[in-house]
Structure 1
Amino acid sequence: MPVREVPRTAGEDPGTPPPRREEVRRVLRLFRPHTRPLGLVGVLIALSAVAGVASPFLIREVVDVALPRGDLRLLAWLAAGLIGIVVATTALDVLQSLLTTRVGQAVMHGLRTALYSHLQRMSLGFFARTRTGEVQSRIANDIGALQTVVTSTGADLVQNLATVVVTVVAMLALDWRLALFSFVVLPFSVWLNRRVGRLRRRITAQRQRQLAEMSATVEETLSISGILLTRTTGRTPEVVERFTRQSDDVARLEVGSEMAGRWQWSLITLTMAAVPALTYLLGGWIRGTGTALSIGTLVALVTLQAQLFRPLGALLRIVVRLHASMALFTRVFEYLDTPVEVAERPGAVDLPRPRGHVRFAGVSFAYPGAGQDTLTGIDLDVPAGTSLAVVGTTGSGKTTLGYLLARLYDVDSGAVLLDGHDVRDLTARSLSDAVGVVTQETFLLHASVADNLRFAKPDATDEELRRAARAAQVDDVLSALPQGYDTVVGERGYRFSGGEKQRIALARTVLRDPPVLLLDEATSALDTRTERAMAAALAELSSGRTTVTIAHRLSTVRDADQIVVLDRGRVAEVGTHAELLARGGRYAGLVAADAARAEPLEQPAGS
């Protein structure tokens, strides 16, 4: 049936060609750590295949010897042998299934953790460019769809291949003429199978892309933020309609994948079904010519045909599945091959006792594809224990400056120095221990308040939690909750107000006691009274600590040791609050504008 084309995303293989040798070798390398159990699986498969082809030879003896002679003793031994072969092959299959499942799950575990670990090291820019649903789809849908392939398909492939080889040898040993006649279907089957495999791989790639689209829609529209957006804008019917279209595309592709090559398979099946009947006909003709061919040999060979065609058909279907699975491996490898833009350098050093001296030396940076620098030639020096406030209009580069300090991005030129060390030369753990970050976009886990706080310091005591919460002016709020600090915050912390979430996030960072505190609009969601209380708390917390504050509300930065004004990515002014006001420049203009916004609206007369 016709299959609707799904738009490709960047990085997808448009033609989905047959698996390249390097791709196949890469898949095989996933199994390299498990060579010993796989070797045992190979031995079990060989024993099972040999035992399987022994039955027709016993049947020949039954037909040609035991029954004509009426030898009940021999017949009993042959019957016992047939039963013993079934018991042996069953036991071998169970043991082989256990081993292959264990190996397959170990490979799945390794692939999942490798992908997750790699994604954890990706820069902030990668996640800014990639939808969360797409990332989740690679881990859940793509790797999940490889479950059967990794756990059992490989063993099935080897088992069926071994059965086919052993059966072919046995058939040739019985009668080479009838054996060659049985093989006439093989070339046509293999050629047709390759065509079906290529078709399945193309459809599988399309299906996984569409599943990723659907996953992204679910992640975006069924989160609390998504539900709030759709309900408040009245777009629920449109969102449901979009999901319905995506689900319909997935259903079409699933049907297309299932039906791909079905008519071709029917033709192969009919041919295989006709071969035994034609073999009996050919055997009768051979016997009619006077050539020696026992009835037992003919029956045994037809029995072997069944044992050949069954694994042969399974083998052809497995090859088709492997073709399709390469589309899944390609998508997983695409993420694994995505370079880590902010990687820990070989020989990175720790800062055992960081003091907190921060310096930006000639820093320039541009986001990929932006076309122009976000920051240009930034030179700033923040001695340990002092405070720096970064202000400027929207888009001036304030947040980017903080991201470079925390090394969420790497500078294009220049260097960000911490205690004289380029942050690119520090270990990731050392840098995260030295620089605590509180952003405007607070994120709370769906866990208890205590668990959210301990995410920063797992071994923190209850008293340490309360001390950090008191410092962030949120202990009273948390203590008043029904279960106190054991209260579950809910999805993304929506049971708390924006100001409460920011204070919890601040407490989480304070708990780590970093020597450098980076506050990126960390008080933007606070009311005036709470902001004043928190400002006093921050002043106390900042004692002996280097503080970099990024703010729009200038009332929070008046007491900073130095204030830098950014304008279009460049340093426009640097000085204290009083010095910059006296200059009457950009900072003075920002202060005046901020004060105007803060003034209450004039009430009309008589109101």
Structure 2
Amino acid sequence: MSTTDDETPFDAYRDEVDRPLWRLFSTYAPGRLRWFTIGMAANFIAQMSSLLPPLILGAAIDALFAGDGPYSLPVVPDAWLPAGEMAQFWFSVSTIAGAFIAVGLFTWIYGVSANLFAHDVMHTVRVDCFTKMQNLDMTFFDDKQTGEVMAVLNDDTRNLEMFLDNALVNSLRLLVMVGGITVLLFLINWQLAFVTLVAVPAMFLFTYWFMRVVEPRYVRQRSAVAWLNTRLENSLSGVGLTKTTSSEDYEVGRVRKASKRLFDDTMAVLKLSYLYRPGMELLAGVAFAATFLVGGLWIVNGAGPGPMTGTLQVGEFVTFLFLTQFIVAPLAEVSNIVDQYQNAKASSERVFGLMDIPVYVSEPDNPEPLEDVAGHVEYDHVTFSYATDEARAVGDELEGDEEIVVEDVSFSADPGETVALVGATGAGKSTLLKLLLRLYDVDEGAIRVDGQDIRDVRLNDLRSAVGYVSQETFLFDGSIADNIRYGNFDASDVAVEEAARAAQAHEFIENLDEGYETRVGERGIKLSGGQRQRVALARTVLQDPEVLILDEATSAVDTKTELMIQRSIDRLTEDRTTLAIAHRLSTIRDADTILVLEDGRVVERGDHESLLADDGRYATLWEAQAGNLDQALETLADGGRE
């Protein structure tokens, strides 16, 4: 399976989905068939009941009002019908009234049942999609698929609900009405029935053409919806950058372009729909007009026109006209059914396209427990490539163009030790530490915790044992207390406050109007960068992990706050294994081991003093940060000592 430059793994798997609506029904209908069956049965009874009034009316006209014939009904034995005129009259009244009551009652039953079925499926599909999204590899989210997933969770599940609730019900209504009316028409007068149904084959051919032509247009429309969602999500997330760079017109232009694409693709669908529905109504109108013409001439002349023989009673003619009108509505409704079918087909392809994306970073089949963690961490000749992971996501194998991010890295850290990683941006430091959490899996080599390969242990055990404070702090919209508790949802208020104190966050929290109940806004926008970072650190303190990852954990705070946080970190790391990344080398000068990374490889290792004595890359970085800029530039110009 391969993708084009504009295609994502999501698109590639969507294109491979086979019989999506059958898969939807076979996957989600079992366990809910009771409601579906009740709904379909009630719908059948309601539609059949709606055919009784015109039959009764025709019989009453012929037998009671015009006196042209006996009181008879198709399929019903005459012995079952009343004999006297008044008995036939009241039978007609009560049967018509009962039919309307039955239509109302069973319409309500099928409406409730069908909605229970459809909305329960929609709810389950949405939750399953979100669950799948939670389990997808980080590579998926590195490709920025948020808009795609939001389109599935909202628009596509709604399309499926409309199909299951409306299209299936209306399809059964169509089959019952067309089939039932066809049978009744032939039982009443088979010759006139041929006239009435002459347009039906043309309707089916017209519908077949419409479905073939409109399907690819629906696919493009759903893709345009997802693209617009992605563009809107990206633009709103980056509104701060947009304003500071005066790029509002540029963003409006990009959204306008995406919206215009959706407009064009939607109009391509609507143009066909507006052709189809009037076309169906025209064909149905032709059938009605032909019935009125032939039946009217038959009544007026007293004999069938052309090759038609026999008699046509007034009541039969009235019944024909009513039933012909009854058949117009469900046939004209075919356009909506086809619309909903095509929409649901495109949406179910997207749903199962998401479901079918394989997850490579997953729980092993027989996971080993990771208990009583001491915190010994070992990287054993670890190599990792993002490009290789992307190739796995689409089933391809890249040949020679892998983007190696981490290459042949080995080191170990014992409990209570700190290993620090330094290097230029893009050297692979953050990726190297994310591998310990199995946010990605290594391509070669192994990472072990207490001697166990992390690919063999339970993910929950691993991630509970490793605390991670990122340079890109994320807070959910909620209270500060809720954000500190995140991942430890049962923690007490006292524990939350102690964690905040340890992270030097308690003082600023107490100064807020609502203290720990202050809402932080989406992504923590109401707090400063330093405040967000201290809340994130408090969250990790509350986790109390055996292994601590600090990915430039103090990068967003001022020097005074950094010193306070650093003291807290020093106390936090006394008896833990700590892996730290810092752009300020002063914060890691006391680390037991410092690794200098360049292009994903370890080019220097040692403690602070030994690396300074080696006078290599680390010494150059230290001199630059210590203020000896002229000497650092001179050293770099000479190439440094390897």
Where do 5+ consecutive residues of structure 2 fail to align?
68-83, 389-400, 631-642
State how far apart, in whole Å, the 1-side matches of 2:116 and 2:192 are. 41
Aligned equivalent of 2:22: 25
AA of the residue aligned to 1:32: P
State how far apart, in whole Å, the 1-side matches of 2:104 and 2:162 are. 21
State how far apart, in whole Å, the 1-side matches of 2:194 and 2:431 are. 73
CA apart distance, 1:252:
3.8
AA of the residue aligned to 2:256: T
CA apart distance, 1:103:
0.8
State how far apart, in whole Å, the 2-side matches of 1:219 and 1:491 are. 13
Aligned residue runs from structure 1 range 247-266, under 5 A: 247-266=259-278
Distance 1:20-1:330 versus aligned 2 partners, 3 A rule: closer
Distance 1:21-1:294 versus aligned 2 partners, 3 A rule: farther
CA apart distance, 1:8:
6.7
Aligned residue runs from structure 1 range 393-404, under 5 A: 393-404=424-435
Q: How big is each residue's C-alpha offset from its partner over 1:541-572, in whole Å with a ceiling of 9 and x where there is no partner?
A: 11221111012221111111222222222222
Normalised by the length of structure 2, the TM-score is: 0.86
Distance 1:244-1:573 versus aligned 2 partners, 3 A rule: closer
Aligned equivalent of 2:56: 58
AA of the residue aligned to 1:305: T
State how far apart, in whole Å, the 1-side matches of 2:542 and 2:249 are. 45
CA apart distance, 1:165:
1.8
Aligned equivalent of 2:329: 310
Contact 2:156 2:344 in 1 (8 A): no
AA of the residue aligned to 2:277: W
Identity %: 33
SS of the counterpart of 1:112? helix
Aligned equivalent of 2:637: none
Distance 1:49-1:496 versus aligned 2 partners, 3 A rule: closer
Normalised by the length of structure 1, the TM-score is: 0.91
Aligned equivalent of 2:397: none
Q: How big is each residue's C-alpha offset from its partner over 1:214-273, in whole Å with a ceiling of 9 and x where there is no partner?
A: 2223222334xx232222212223323333343344334333322314234323322311
Matching of residue 269 in structure 1 with residue 278 in structure 2:
no
Root-mean-square deviation (Å): 2.5
Contact 1:357 1:546 in 2 (8 A): yes
CA apart distance, 1:21:
6.3
Aligned equivalent of 1:109: 123
Aligned equivalent of 1:360: 379
Match of 2:454 among 423, 430, 436: 423
Matching of residue 121 in structure 1 with residue 121 in structure 2:
no
Q: How big is each residue's C-alpha offset from its partner over 1:82-101, in whole Å with a ceiling of 9 and x where there is no partner?
A: 12101111110011000111
Distance 1:436-1:50 versus aligned 2 partners, 3 A rule: same
Aligned residue runs from structure 1 range 91-490, under 5 A: 91-223=105-237, 226-283=238-295, 284-285=297-298, 287-289=302-304, 291-368=310-387, 371-490=402-521
AA of the residue aligned to 1:174: I
AA of the residue aligned to 1:344: E
Contact 2:35 2:116 in 1 (8 A): no
AA of the residue aligned to 1:52: S
Distance 1:112-1:504 versus aligned 2 partners, 3 A rule: same
Contact 2:196 2:290 in 1 (8 A): no
AA of the residue aligned to 2:19: E
CA apart distance, 1:326:
1.1
AA of the residue aligned to 2:158: G
State how far apart, in whole Å, the 2-side matches of 1:38 and 1:140 are. 23
Count matched residues: 589
CA apart distance, 1:13:
7.5
Distance 1:109-1:271 versus aligned 2 partners, 3 A rule: same
Q: How big is each residue's C-alpha offset from its partner over 1:159-181, in whole Å with a ceiling of 9 and x where there is no partner?
A: 32222222222222222222223
Moved more, 133-142 or 471-480: 133-142
State how far apart, in whole Å, the 2-side matches of 1:254 and 1:568 are. 47
Aligned equivalent of 1:592: 623
SS of the counterpart of 1:293? coil
Aligned residue runs from structure 1 range 520-559, under 5 A: 520-559=551-590
SS of the counterpart of 1:463? helix
SS of the counterpart of 1:266? helix
Contact 2:198 2:287 in 1 (8 A): no
Distance 1:490-1:320 versus aligned 2 partners, 3 A rule: closer
Aligned equivalent of 1:605: none
SS of the counterpart of 1:32? coil
SS of the counterpart of 1:481? coil
Q: How big is each residue's C-alpha offset from its partner over 1:17-44, in whole Å with a ceiling of 9 and x where there is no partner?
A: 9x98622321222222311111112221
State how far apart, in whole Å, the 2-side matches of 1:180 and 1:273 are. 15
Contact 1:108 1:150 in 2 (8 A): no
State how far apart, in whole Å, the 1-side matches of 2:242 and 2:144 are. 22
State how far apart, in whole Å, the 1-side matches of 2:538 and 2:17 are. 52
Q: How big is each residue's C-alpha offset from its partner over 1:33-73, in whole Å with a ceiling of 9 and x where there is no partner?
A: 31111111222122223222222321221111122359344
AA of the residue aligned to 1:28: F
AA of the residue aligned to 2:618: Y
Contact 2:21 2:344 in 1 (8 A): no
State how far apart, in whole Å, the 2-side matches of 1:136 and 1:122 are. 15
Contact 1:52 1:89 in 2 (8 A): yes
SS of the counterpart of 2:387? coil
Contact 2:277 2:335 in 1 (8 A): no
AA of the residue aligned to 1:61: A
Aligned equivalent of 2:36: 38
Aligned equivalent of 2:392: none
SS of the counterpart of 1:184? coil
Contact 1:49 1:166 in 2 (8 A): no
Moved more, 44-53 or 465-474: 44-53
Contact 2:591 2:608 in 1 (8 A): yes
Moved more, 430-439 or 133-142: 133-142
Contact 2:284 2:331 in 1 (8 A): no
SS of the counterpart of 2:427? coil
CA apart distance, 1:374:
1.4
Distance 1:21-1:579 versus aligned 2 partners, 3 A rule: closer
State how far apart, in whole Å, the 2-side matches of 1:236 and 1:13 are. 30
